[in-house]
Amino acid sequence: MTETFKVWVRSVLTLMFRRECLICHRELRGFEKNLCTHCVADLPLSYTWCSDKSEADLGFYGRAYVEKVTALLIYRGKFKELLYQLKYKGNVSIGIMLGEMLGSRLFLQQGPAESSASPKKYLVVPVPLHWRKRMKRGYNQSAVLAKGVIKNLRERGIEARLCQGLLRRRNFTQTQTVKDRLSRWQNVQRAFTINPRRLRRLQEPLHFILVDDVLTTGATLDACANLLLKNCRCTVTIATAAFVP
């Protein structure tokens, strides 16, 4: 009886505290978090940080002038699950983890001049959700990623802080399937506004890092970057957890 009880307790504990890899569902070892070592090694990294003319950068040619576009992963296959977990399953921990990994790929090519006299202070701006959507979800997934980005940058001695409430999403983006390309673009460009009072409190020149979860057509990030560039003297860098090539 006692032996059966012990086995039962152990099974319940294992079930309760079992941590498994989000991708392959293998049981995680003590030092692993969210993903097992095998899946971390298999992550489809985009290497957009290795070149100034990566596919992600080229997608912004002729659009808002941004300094650099960095995406951590290529959005494909089983790894889409990570973004799904962050966006729809309340898995904030994976968002912080991806954010930290993304942060570690930013500003790798900065020369020694950057680290001298007056180093840049970065304002990390998550692409805003409409307030109703954020209430429903309980958080903005881009803000979660932004926190991870900031954590990593600070660890590397780069000054960065979260800047929320500067951009606002004015309306729910309507279902985009029926509209043509131009009206879709115009629709997204009109979807965001800037908070002038919030902007006045910031001292120029400003250095923004715009953070979003997935870079698809780039219309959203283009709209946000345009809005920042139009309203103040600033530079804009884009950082996303994934991109659709």
Name which of 57 and 81 has its Cβ closer to Zn ion: 81
Whole-angstrom CA distances from 111 to 90, 114, 119, 140, 211 are 38, 6, 11, 33, 23
Chosen residue from 7, 9, 13, 24 binding Zn ion by CB under 5 A: 24
- Among candidate residues 213, 207, 245, the one with its CA nearest the CA of residue 225: 207
One-letter amino acid identity for 207?
Answer: H
- Among candidate residues 12, 69, 87, 99, the one with its CA nearest the CA of residue 221: 69
Based on the shown chain and the rule CB under 5 A, indicate whether residue 82 belongs to the binding site for Zn ion. Answer: no
* Shortest Å, Cβ 23 to Zn ion: 5
Question: What are the two backbone dihedrals, phi and then psi, of residue 125, each rounded to the nearest 5 degrees?
Answer: -110, 110
Binders of Zn ion in range 120-159 (CB under 5 A): none
Based on the shown chain and the rule CB under 5 A, indicate whether residue 23 belongs to the binding site for Zn ion. Answer: yes
User: Which one of 33-41, 79-87, 96-104, 213-221 is the stretch in contact with Zn ion (CB under 5 A)?
Assistant: 33-41
User: Token pair for residue 224?
Assistant: 């946000």
User: Which one of 30-38, 48-56, 64-72, 135-143 is the stretch in contact with Zn ion (CB under 5 A)?
Assistant: 30-38
Name which of 39 and 221 has its Cβ closer to Zn ion: 39
- # residues contacting Zn ion (CB under 5 A): 6
Is residue 213 helix, strand or coil?
strand
Using the structure block, give the residue that is written with the tokens 């399937």: 177
Based on the shown chain and the rule CB under 5 A, indicate whether residue 21 belongs to the binding site for Zn ion. Answer: yes
Chosen residue from 39, 66, 97, 101 binding Zn ion by CB under 5 A: 39
Interacting residues toward Zn ion by CB under 5 A: 21, 23-24, 26, 36, 39
